[in-house]
Structure 1
Amino acid sequence: MQGGPEANGDDKFFIAANDSLQEQRFSTLKNGDTFAVFDQHGDALNMRSTPQGIFYRDTRHLSLFQLLIEGTRPILLSSTMREDNTTLTCDLTNPDIFDEDGRMVLEHDLIHVRRSRFLWQGACYERLLIRNFDDQQRKISLNLRFEVDFADLFETRGTRRKKHGVHHAPTIDKDRVTLSYTGLDERHRKTILQFDPIPTKLVANEADYEFTLNKKEARAVFVAVECDEPGCGIPLRKSFFSALREARRTLARLSSRASVIVSSNDIFNETARRSIADLYTLTTLTPQGAYPYAGIPWFSTVFGRDGLITAFEMLWVDPTIAHGVLMYLAANQATEIDPAADAEPGKILHEVRQGEMAELGEVPFKRYYGSIDSTPLFVMLAGEYLQRTGDLRSIAQLWPHIEAALGWITHYGDRDGDGFVEYGRRTKEGLANQGWKDSHDSVFHADGQLAIGPIALVEVQAYVYGAWRAAATIAQQLGRVNQAGGYTKRAEELRWNFDRRFFDENLGTYVLALDGEKNPCRVHTSNAGHALWTEIAYPERAEAVVRSLMGTTSFCGWGIRTAASSEIRYNPISYHNGSVWPHDNALIAAGFARYHFQKEASRIFEGVFAASTYIDLRRLPELLCGFPRQRAQGPTFYPVACMPQAWAAASMLYMLQSCIGLSFSPENGQIIFNRPILPSFLDEVLLYNISMGDGAIDLSLRRSRSKAVIEVMQHKGNIRVLTIT
């Protein structure tokens, strides 16, 4: 991500941690470029340093939205997210209501309010159903309070601004209020709140209703909050139901392409369904195809690295996501040098932002290229996509972008000509650390001193090796034999130099990085596991790396820590120096499996799954604290972790693939299982709709001692299954 949540003098883009998102148990909704964060009541309370409210294109279009009964906050009965994430439903009731003389005028639990809310095409729709369960007629006042601050997302993250634009006087009609703001970027932003039926009273910040309800009578109130986008032009009551229908149908169509996973473990089934729902909720349709936005609330936008890794994790389930990611990133590949954006020809995007601060350059992320790993990961994914699908036509279309990416690796990535790719920001406004661990203190030496750049990270060299190998495979299939040979040679040269400079016999694993003086950072970190993922590690090194990562200082029971507990900067509640990240563990488990350490991969899978059983909605967060796992106790949550987070949601899908050794050979019409095993918590797994070409297959895997036995249940097209034992 960008800078991590820890603040220091060099980190302008930190995320303020004044409150725990876990403690407040926020509910999130997303559709396209709109996302919303509400508390369990369905309210958004006007707190500038928290992400509550409705956001559209990195601007908060509703900062306060609160429901009151007789001027008092109702009692929460339940708050439920629909399994496909489209709808939030909150059930509320009235507290005891007293008049000014202290006499009770309404006893608790007589009035029930059900709030049903969803997002669709830049708007938030809500229906409030108010029902009187008293045995007599009741007069009820319902109050809806609202405010808009038009704060930039970075302000809600903690960044302070000296100047703002102009808030305009509200426009009030009989059934709607329009609130608007002209930013310093000269863009006019507006929020329209529409009500049906017409409120009894409507002012700039409140809509009031007075109802007389007979016993058991119910009334409905409909509300729409439109963010810049024009409304649908039909009555609100009707548009609520038509928009809800379209929102559900669209999400169902998008997710229908995915393979379906059903197992003998009901809790894992819930986790798998939630993962799929989260992934397609986060996926946004772009002109180039579907792209998974990184996470809510802080990163609901395009991130290159996140999208690429999420696509890797989902590739066996739905390769069209990888296609959309590759096409979008190719269309937005850098073509010129721009120091403010850390852009150089051939480089792949880090992040895109659409808010006022990005437009003005107050943050450099309007279209920012400050990640060192997105470019090699782009080439790697292109190779993996071809291997998964055989779609040579799309890869041929991408070939000029692949060549440009390789050109960037050669001419700009390797700053000093030593064969390794290093990073260093071009201006002081950019990110100081540009690997996936981008906190200010995430790259350090054994004595705790921070590394001074340019920095060559261990995993980045592994990705570059993977990129050269992928490019060789692609070039071979495109008939570019000479280029393929050259790329293979580059890969093997890098592999030899990498082993010589990065493997440390005394450390028993790979060093974290080489600093600007080429001094190694001799610390135990999870980064070393990525060398197994891309297979840059020589086979004789694999066992030592696995042993290091699965030792008690690194493997905490919930997964592998980002930094071992033996290191001087270890902190289990830090962002990158001792925490556990599901996606990191998924890549490491995939690396283990590639060197035939499936049992160790399954232990990682079991740890991450066990953590999910303690989490609301079975939803894996961006990261967990790295405290040791204790018997009959759950994991410790990180206070400002994103949930849902795309690469976390996809992590268990990828870990399942690693354990069962699933790969594809479209040119031979084969689906391959290499030494498949099932983790301890799964006795049987059914996989439906695994697609390849024009065909699809349904399979069952059942535990048989230490192995998994595979049976074809149904197939369409010419697909064969090959099991390697």
Structure 2
Amino acid sequence: MNYRVIKEDDLFLLTDPTGNIRENDEQVLGLFTKDTRFLSRFEVAVENLDIILLSSHAAENYIGTIRLTNKEKIENGEVKVWRESIAIDRKRFIADRVLYETVSFRNHNAYPVELEVAVRVDADFKDMFEIRGFFREQKGTIHPVETKKDQIRLSYTGSDDVDRATVIRFAPEPQKISGKEAYYSISLTPFGTAEFELSIFPEINGQAGEAKDRSAALHRLEESYRQWDEECTHVETDNETFNQLVHRSKKDIRVLLTDVGYGRFPVAGLPIYAVPFGRDSLIAALQLLAIHPEIAKGTLKTMAAYQGTKSDPWRDEQPGKIMHEMRYGELSNSGKVPFTPYYGTIDATPLFLVLAAEYYHWTGDEGFIRELLPNIERALDWIDAYGDQDKDGYVEYFQESSKGLANQGWKDSADSIVHKDGSLAKAPIALAEVQGYVYDAKIRLASVYEHLGRPDQARALRESAEKLKAQFARDFWMKDEEFIAIALDHEKKQVESVTSNPGHCLWSGLLTEEQAKKVAERLLAPDLFSGWGIRTMSTTSAGYNPMSYHDGSIWPHDNSLCVLGLKRYGFHDHANRVMEGLIEASKHFEYDRLPELFCGYPKEEGEPVPYPVACSPQAWAAGTPLVFVRVMLGLTPDVPAGTVRLAPSLPKGISRMVVRNLRVGNGSLDLLIHRYNDTHTTFKVLHNSTGLQVITG
């Protein structure tokens, strides 16, 4: 990870490890909000000293600290400033849509030192799509820089007629401001200190954050993180690696939370996907149920607010469809890309239904589920009317938008759906895991409708789901491989690559018992299981590449859904092995954080190999260890039925786990799990204010 990132709400800063954003840097660095880069250059330089990096971290996510010092300065053979005698600290945080930074200096010499410090800034106001390589001819207008004694203002009017600006304020006033540069002459007395402060305001159509007392703003920010931790389920085990991993995950989820008016939900990840993202946000909310169930409600309300209302091929929109991705930048606003929002995803709609049913069974919030029923019914209608346009019983995708995605499942790269001979599958494509999501949604919602006194709808959903299950068992089963095909192509032929996707079908309960056994064994076979995790594609498949984004890499979230599926079918040892691999892998990544993905090389070849442009932090990667907590507990709440079911099983390396403030229904549970040996794990209920019966199995 060669960048440092801090974020709060929808404003985030990415710099290099020294804290700078340099001109022409090839990385996606900058200060971003609303899909626009409001700082493309941000350098603090000591002009008369060579500076070196001591340390750089942003482990807390909301505050970044960079420590720098100097190289030796020699003039005419005489040492003017001893090496490592000047300490330079840069500390920054974001609050109230303002970036605050303090740059401080300490002289460790017994003589005075004069420093000439320059702060250089610029803003190209590029759209995130442009930074990612989208070429456009028509651009807006960069206006001349405006300066005051303590301020630089950079501004731009986009082709979407939106005025954007970046205001940089300095305190105290610099000795000089010239264009996009500010200069300080700092006199450090023997063993003396000095500092200056920056406040940076992104501005859209005249609206910007409001500068407040720094100490108070930082205190409120720290308090919000403390409160978040207090709200979450607390997990403590006798395995410090896992404890750190859960702690890291909760922090990463917190920094990715955003509210666009309907409640908090997780954006997909930094730096590229800090936006509402149907599939990713929904899966992350599902992963979070055992830790913070209210996030599911904010996610569902956000997705419902943007549910499709019409047929619009440009945006791949259809009535009832749940969005793929929402963008706010110039290219989206001016219609150059179809992301306002874009609906080209085949799985977000059934996942929306799965989350809605899960949330209801977890909380018993009947009022909310009734409020959501119109959205649920429109999503069900979309599945049957638009998702299955050829009426073959399967939900398929086909790109209509010229600027949309060709592949519209979670493996959405162009080369991800590969035939046995290496050729790419052609759309319409019916993905295996999507049929699982549809099946699961209908089975779960059937139970919801029964609780709501609507037995006819419940019966129709169950009949439809069982028909799908029988049909799927016949059409997707590869006899030669004894495994589920990743998809059916445009000719209804099996796409015969061996992949991780059928693990999601375990989670959905779509497979027969015999198929489930075969799939579970194959997922843990050496061609799919690297020792660190389950690969996205088997080493025996034609498309396999351990460095590929979707054809041989390891995605923690993908593994988390496989683990849920293995647990569902009773393959406890298989689930434990996958968890053990990923827990061990986490120790090899910065901040003990599971990244979006990593390369699929086998464990016996050495440490996990990072994927070069993986998002970090990333929501559903952060959610993965939180799924492990649920799997270790074997937790299945059914608040409407008045029960919480537990089937605990701890992986090797964990013998004891205490879970507190596990919120279910209107109360909470405290649990003690103890693993005596490979076959015997017990639990004890330490506290139960839910009013629900805790049962085994």
- TM (norm. structure 1) is 0.93
Superimposed CA distance per residue, residues 352-377 of structure 1 (whole angstroms, 9 cap, x where no aligned partner): 00111111222222210000000011
Matched with 1:316 is 290
Distance, in Å, in 1 between the alignment partners of 2:194 and 2:685 is: 53
Where does residue 394 of structure 2 map in the other structure?
Answer: 420
Q: Does 1:699 align with 2:671?
A: yes
| Correspondence for 2:63 | 87
Matched residues in 2 for 1:114 and 1:44: separation? 16
Distance 2:614 2:218 in 1: 29
What is the aligned partner in structure 1 of residue 32 from structure 2? 55
Which residue identity does 1:152 align to in structure 2?
D
1:213-362 to 2 correspondences below 5 Å: 213-228=188-203, 239-362=213-336
Matches of 2:576 and 2:36 in 1, distance apart? Answer: 42
Residue matched to 1:190:
165
What SS does the aligned partner of 1:641 have? coil
> Does residue 655 in structure 1 map to residue 632 in structure 2?
no
List alignment gaps of at least 5 residues for structure 2: none
Q: 1:122, 1:228 within 8 Å by CA — same for their partners in 2?
A: no
The number of equivalent residue pairs is 694
Give distance in 1, aligned partners of 2:660 and 2:128.
Answer: 40
What's the offset of the Cα at 1:286?
2.8
* Alpha-carbon offset, residue 38 of structure 1: 1.4
Q: AA paired with 1:94?
A: N
8 Å Cα contact 2:649/2:675 also seen in 1: yes
Q: Following the alignment from structure 2 to structure 1, what is the Cα–Cα distance between the partners of residues 30 and 586? A: 27
Q: Which amino acid aligns with 1:547?
A: E
Give deviations 1:77-119, integer Å, cap 9, x for gaps.
Answer: 1112243x211111111222345x6754322211111111111
Counterpart of 2:645 (choices 665, 668, 672) is: 672
Distance 1:548 1:231 in 2: 54
Summarize deviations over 1:384-425 as a string: whole Å, max 9, x none.
111111111111000010000000001000021101011001
Does the residue aligned with 1:685 lie in a helix, a strand or coil?
Answer: strand
Residue 31 of structure 1, CA deviation: 1.1
Q: How does 1:608-623 map to 2 (within 5 A)?
A: 608-623=582-597
CA contact (8 A) 1:601 1:655 kept: no
Identity %: 39
Of 696-705 and 712-721, more deviation after overlay is shown by 712-721
SS in 2 for 1:416: coil
8 Å contact from structure 2 (residues 98, 210) kept in 1: no
Displacement of 1:715 after TM fit? 4.0
Residue 48 of structure 1 deviates from its aligned partner by: 5.5
Determine the C-alpha separation between the residues in 2 that align with 1:73 and 1:304: 47
CA 1:197–1:103: 2 relative to 1, 3 Å: same
CA distance in 1, matches of 2:33, 2:497: 42
Gap change, CA 1:203 and 1:715, over 3 Å in 2: farther
Letter of the aligned partner of 1:503 in structure 2? W
- Measured against aligned partners, the alpha-carbon deviations of 1:330-358 in whole angstroms (never above 9, x if no partner) come to 11100101110000000001000011111
Are 1:507 and 1:523, in contact at CA under 8 Å, matched by a contact in 2? Answer: no
1:144 is paired with a residue whose SS is: strand
**In the TM superposition, what is the alpha-carbon distance from 1:651 to its structure 2 partner?**
0.5
Partner of 1:682: 654
Shift of 1:249: 2.2
Tell me which amino acid in the other structure corresponds to 1:700: L
Once residues 643 and 276 of structure 1 are traced to their aligned partners in structure 2, the CA distance between those partners, rounded to angstroms, is: 14
- Distance (whole Å) between structure 2 residues aligned to residue 330 and residue 379 of structure 1: 11
Shift of 1:511: 0.6
Match for residue 171 of structure 1?
A: 146
Distance 1:250 1:598, change over 3 A: same
Q: For residues 426 and 59 of structure 2, what CA distance do their matches in structure 1 show?
A: 48
Please tell me whether the aligned partners of residues 282 and 348 of structure 2 are also in contact (alpha carbons under 8 angstroms): yes
1:543 aligns with 2:520: no
1:218 deviates by 1.4
CA change 1:183–1:321 in 2 (3 A) is same
CA distance in 2, matches of 1:119, 1:98: 39
Selected match of 2:5 from 3, 7, 28? 28
1:60 to partner: Cα distance: 0.6
- The CA deviation at 1:205 is 1.7
Is the 2:69–2:86 contact (alpha carbons within 8 Å) kept by the matching residues of 1?
yes
Paired residues for 1:573-652 under 5 Å? 573-630=547-604, 633-652=606-625
RMSD: 1.6
The residue type equivalent to 2:198 in the other structure is: V
1:96 is aligned, of 72, 79, 86, to 72
Question: Which residue is equivalent to 2:478?
Answer: 504
State the partner residue of 1:11. Answer: none
2:412 paired with 1:438: yes
8 A Cα contact 1:696 1:719, kept in partner: no
Deviation at 1:668, TM superposition (A): 5.2
Structure 1 stretches of 4+ with a deviation exceeding 6 A read none
SS at match of 2:494: coil
Q: Which amino acid aligns with 1:673?
A: L
Letter in 2 for 1:105: K
CA distance in 1, matches of 2:642, 2:78: 78
What are the Cα deviations for residues 669-706 of structure 1, in whole angstroms up to 9, with x where unaligned?
543212x1111121211111111233222222121112
Query: Whole-Å Cα distance in 2 between the matches of residues 300 and 75 of structure 1?
Result: 31
Instruction: Report the CA distance shift for 1:60/1:231 in structure 2 as closer, same or farther (over 3 A).
Output: closer
AA matched with 2:435: Q
Residue type of the partner of 2:71?
P
The 2-side partners of 1:575 and 1:199 are apart by 47
| 5+ residue gaps, structure 1 | 1-21
SS of the counterpart of 1:289? coil
- Quick one: distance in 1 between partners of 2:95 and 2:48? 30
The answer on whether the counterparts of 2:97 and 2:210 sit within 8 Å (CA) in structure 1 is: no
Conserved in 2, the CA contact under 8 Å of 1:558 and 1:604? yes
- The answer to whether the Cα contact below 8 Å between 1:533 and 1:587 also exists between their aligned partners in 2 is yes
Give the match for residue 159 of structure 1: 134
Q: Does structure 2 conserve the Cα–Cα contact (< 8 Å) formed by 1:589 and 1:604?
A: yes
* 1:596 match: secondary structure: coil
CA distance, structure 1, for counterparts of residue 468 and residue 50 of structure 2 = 63
Q: Distance in 2 between matches of 1:232 and 1:504?
A: 57
Residue 144 of structure 1 aligns with which residue?
A: 119
Moved more, 449-458 or 361-370: 361-370
How far apart are the structure 1 equivalents of 2:512 and 2:94?
50
Structure 1 residue 211, shift from structure 2 partner: 1.5
For residues 50 and 578 of structure 2, the distance between their equivalents in structure 1, rounded to whole angstroms, comes to 44
CA contact 1:49–1:155 (8 Å) conserved in 2? no
**Secondary structure in structure 1 of the residue aligned to 2:691:** coil
| 1:706-721 correspondence runs (5 A) | 706=678, 707-716=680-689, 718-721=691-694
Quote the Cα distance in structure 2 between the aligned partners of 1:506 and 1:479.
Answer: 46
Partner Cα distance (1:106, 1:200) in 2:
23
After TM superposition, the score normalised by the length of structure 2 is 0.97
Give the superposition deviation at 1:161: 2.5
Measured after TM superposition, the shift of residue 232 of structure 1 is 6.0
Q: Which residue of 2 aligns with 1:17?
A: none
Decide which of 118, 127, 136 is 2:93's aligned counterpart: 118
Name whichever of 265-274 and 243-252 sits farther off. 243-252
Q: Distance in 1 between matches of 2:97 and 2:246?
A: 28
CA contact (8 A) 2:277 2:326 kept: yes
Q: Deviations over 1:113-155 (max 9, x none)?
A: 1111111232211111211111112222222111111111122
Q: CA deviation at 1:436?
A: 0.4
User: How far is the alpha carbon of 1:316 from its aligned partner?
Assistant: 1.2
CA distance 1:231–1:528, shift in 2 (3 Å): closer
Matched, 1:723 2:688: no
Structure 2 counterpart of 1:523: 497
What is the CA–CA distance in structure 1 between the aligned matches of 2:366 and 2:696, rounded to whole Å? 26
Equivalent in the alignment of 2:182: 207
Pairwise CA distance, 1:714: 3.5
